[in-house]
């Protein structure tokens, strides 16, 4: 059955957005990512104008992350304190990033910087997570003790401990200076604004490897943070660009809210290393896709203004 | 003598009157001829008719495109061209190019002036075979004529303009809003010896709401000899119109509504899963 989308000005088979929503919601509940880096290009592929695809994606992520945050909160996997500090950093970083992108546009090489940042960030995060998860899976299997890593961690730990305003994050079972999540959140905020994405795929590895939070708490806390980011983005897109398609968002969220719940349930049955390696594999597949996109001659040399 | 002069005078008056009558008759005949000529030409101009069967297309939630048929009568033996266009405007598109010799990136924007967003041309035979280049350009019939009509900026030279116009057409054809084809118009002689013509076209759902002009051209000896027009209006109705208007005119309310529904759906589904025991 086809439905006409009033803002996208196109007609779509309802099974497409519902199915895509379900798949992306599943990833969201499993890994704590918004899934914008996957869903927006897919929507464009199915004929949705790029501006509408990006804006409507944010709207549906509000629903999926609400559903996912709720499911993770019920089982005690959301560190609200950490989430709020990251959100504060992300908010400041977002403002800096928007100014940076304005500057890049004025210099005329914005697209080049965006694409290269995208490929490098996805590539580095994907490769690092993949190798690290693979090693820890093997070591656990072999029963080996990570002596060298412990020493490295304590050196990093000593530096972090030396920072002022140390505070305890009970839910994650860690102690950090409040500046650590604010600065890291700010870093993700800058990159997210430059790349035009929510930043979940960057936030998750940062929480795992730099903040040393437990993987299951990372997923819930990331979703909590994404929820607020996407509420802000949805409003700004609707207000300034008039590009949120309400009907498309409803179709997507029908699938994504259910998917997020299923993902949260399924995620608890997987080990942390399995979750990390799966996310790393998805990030790497997306990286390869983007590398192909920028190296192979495109079928169309013109596109609508507004998307990537 | 006096009598003779009178007779001659009467003769002369008579001749003058006859001449006057002859001149008047000639003038009347010329005038009548002109009127007949004009009437004949008028009949020829009024011969070509065009009517779109579906001139008001409404878009509701279940709209997935439509069909539009154009029919009419023309002089026998003429070729026909049916052109459907939206009003001309300007369009800005992102332009891809190679950076550092290997990477395909958006390298700028191109502005296409005097271009319709929707352009369909159907003809009985290939337009290049039935129309001269001048006539095609005069009536903007066919892609080569449209290419000449359109302004593209910034381009360095004609060669570059031709390249980007080709890409523009490819982009529009991919979006189903540009097409040209020949042989789809059906023609048949009617009982009055005139030519009936008919074409049924798919109306793509990608065509945006607005007014569209259907122009029908009768073609003979490489020239357009007659022209007729019809209109098609595409309009959003009901909830589709309400939502589209709200998104444009009340963006703050629309934004809050979108966020509210998303939050509600997220919590709602969570509740359903909780009740169903899905989350534990």
Cβ neighbour number for residue A74 with a 10 Å cutoff: 16
Specify which residues A287 forms β-bridges with. Answer: none
CB contact under 8 A, A11 and B208: no
A181: which 2 tokens? 């999540």
Cβ contacts of A254 on chain B, cutoff 8 Å: 265
Total number of domains in chain A: 1
Tell me the pLDDT of chain A averaged across its residues. Answer: 82
Cβ contacts of A62 on chain B, cutoff 8 Å: 259, 262-263, 266
Domain assignment of residue A287, yes or no: yes
CB contact under 8 A, B93 and A303: yes
Please state at what angle helix A50-74 crosses helix A15-31, rounded to 10 degrees: 50
Q: CB–CB of B79/B219 below 8 Å?
A: yes
Kindly report the pTM of this predicted structure. 0.76
pLDDT tens string A25-50: 888 888 877 777 788 888 888 888 87
Domain assignment of residue A304, yes or no: no
* pLDDT at residue number A28: 81
Of B167, B258, B265, the CB nearest to A257: B265
Would the pLDDT of B58 be above 60?
yes
Domain assignment of residue A302, yes or no: no
Q: Which of A213, A169, A183 minimizes the C-alpha distance to A90?
A: A183
Domain assignment of residue A301, yes or no: no
Q: Which of B142, B259, B73 minimizes the C-alpha distance to A230?
A: B259
What residues of chain B, 87 to 106, have a C-beta less than 8 Å from chain A?
92-97, 99, 102-106
Domain assignment of residue A52, yes or no: yes
Question: What is the nearest CA distance from A227 to chain B, expressed in angstroms?
Answer: 9
**Cβ of B253 under 8 Å from any chain A Cβ?**
no
Question: What is the nearest CA distance from A306 to chain B, expressed in angstroms?
Answer: 9
Domain assignment of residue A95, yes or no: yes
For B59-87, the DSSP string reads: E-TT---EEEEEEEEE-TT-EEEEEEEPP
Q: Which domain holds residue A13?
A: 2-295
* pLDDT at residue number A128: 84
Domain assignment of residue A208, yes or no: yes
Of B65, B170, B273, the CB nearest to A300: B170
What average pLDDT does this structure show over B34-38?
40
Cβ contacts of B267 on chain A, cutoff 8 Å: 66-67, 70
Percent of chain A whose pLDDT exceeds 90: 9
**Cβ of B18 under 8 Å from any chain A Cβ?**
no
pLDDT tens string B225-266: 999 999 999 999 999 999 999 999 999 999 999 999 999 988
A188: which 2 tokens? 């993700």
Cβ contacts of B178 on chain A, cutoff 8 Å: none
Would the pLDDT of B13 be above 80?
no
| H or E stretch at A12 | strand A10-13
Of A47, A70, A234, the CB nearest to B266: A70
Domain assignment of residue A308, yes or no: no
Q: CB–CB of A65/A158 below 8 Å?
A: no
Q: Cα-flanking dihedrals φ and ψ of residue B75, to 5°? A: -65, 150
Q: Which of A241, A254, A176 minimizes the C-alpha distance to A210?
A: A176
Q: CB–CB of A32/A223 below 8 Å?
A: yes
Question: What is the nearest CA distance from B200 to chain A, expressed in angstroms?
Answer: 21
**Cβ of B8 under 8 Å from any chain A Cβ?**
no
């Amino acid at each position: 059955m086809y439905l006409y989308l009033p803002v996208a000005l196109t007609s779509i088979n309802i099974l497409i957005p519902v199915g895509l929503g379900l798949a992306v919601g599943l990833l969201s509940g499993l890994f704590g990512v918004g899934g914008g880096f996957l869903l927006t290009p897919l929507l464009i592929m199915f004929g949705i104008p790029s501006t509408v695809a990006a804006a409507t994606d944010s709207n549906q992520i509000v629903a999926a992350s609400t559903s996912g945050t709720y499911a993770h909160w019920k089982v005690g996997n959301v560190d609200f304190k950490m989430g709020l500090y990251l959100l504060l950093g992300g908010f400041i970083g977002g403002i800096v990033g928007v100014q940076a992108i304005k500057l890049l546009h004025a210099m005329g090489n914005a697209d080049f910087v965006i694409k290269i940042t995208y490929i490098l960030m996805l590539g580095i995060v994907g490769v690092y997570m993949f190798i690290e998860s693979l090693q820890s899976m093997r070591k656990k299997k072999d029963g080996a003790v990570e002596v060298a890593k412990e020493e490295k961690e304590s050196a990093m730990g000593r530096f972090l401990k030396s920072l002022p305003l140390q505070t305890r994050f009970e839910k994650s079972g860690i102690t950090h200076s409040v500046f650590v999540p604010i600065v890291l959140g700010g870093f993700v905020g800058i990159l997210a604004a430059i790349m035009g994405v929510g930043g979940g795929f960057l936030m998750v590895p940062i929480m795992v490897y730099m903040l040393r939070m437990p993987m299951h708490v990372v997923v819930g806390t990331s979703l909590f943070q994404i929820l607020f980011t996407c509420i802000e983005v949805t409003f700004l897109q609707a207000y300034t660009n008039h590009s949120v398609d309400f009907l498309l968002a409803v179709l997507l969220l029908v699938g994504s809210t259910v998917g997020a719940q299923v993902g949260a349930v399924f995620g608890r049955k997987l080990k942390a290393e399995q979750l990390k390696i799966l996310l790393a594999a998805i990030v790497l597949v997306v990286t390869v896709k983007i590398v192909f996109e920028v190296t192979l001659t495109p079928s169309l040399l013109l596109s609508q203004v507004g998307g990537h | 003598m006096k009598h003779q002069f009178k007779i001659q005078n009467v003769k002369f008056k008579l001749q003058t009157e006859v001449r006057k009558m002859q001149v008047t008759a000639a003038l009347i005949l010329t005038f009548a001829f002109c009127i007949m000529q004009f009437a004949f030409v008028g009949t020829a101009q009024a011969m070509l008719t065009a009517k779109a069967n579906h001139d008001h297309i409404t878009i509701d939630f279940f709209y997935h495109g439509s069909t539009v048929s154009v029919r009419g009568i023309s002089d026998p033996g003429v070729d026909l061209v049916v052109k459907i266009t939206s009003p001309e405007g300007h369009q800005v598109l992102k332009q891809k190019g190679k950076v550092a010799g290997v990477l395909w990136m958006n390298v700028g924007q191109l502005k296409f002036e005097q271009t319709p967003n929707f352009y369909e041309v159907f003809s009985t035979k290939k337009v290049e075979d039935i129309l001269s280049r001048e006539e095609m350009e005069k009536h903007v019939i066919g892609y080569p004529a449209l290419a000449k009509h359109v302004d593209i900026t910034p381009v360095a030279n004609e060669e570059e303009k031709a390249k980007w116009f080709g890409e523009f057409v490819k982009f529009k054809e991919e979006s189903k809003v540009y097409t040209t084809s020949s042989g789809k118009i059906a023609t048949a002689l009617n009982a009055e010896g005139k030519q009936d013509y008919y074409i049924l076209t798919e109306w793509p759902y990608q065509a945006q709401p607005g007014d569209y002009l259907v122009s029908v051209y009768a073609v003979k000896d490489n020239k357009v000899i007659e022209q007729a027009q019809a209109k098609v209006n595409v309009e959003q109705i009901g909830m589709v119109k309400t939502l589209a208007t709200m998104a444009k005119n009340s963006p703050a309310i629309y934004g809050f509504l979108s966020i509210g529904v998303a939050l509600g759906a997220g919590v709602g589904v969570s509740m359903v899963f909780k009740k169903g025991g899905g989350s534990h």
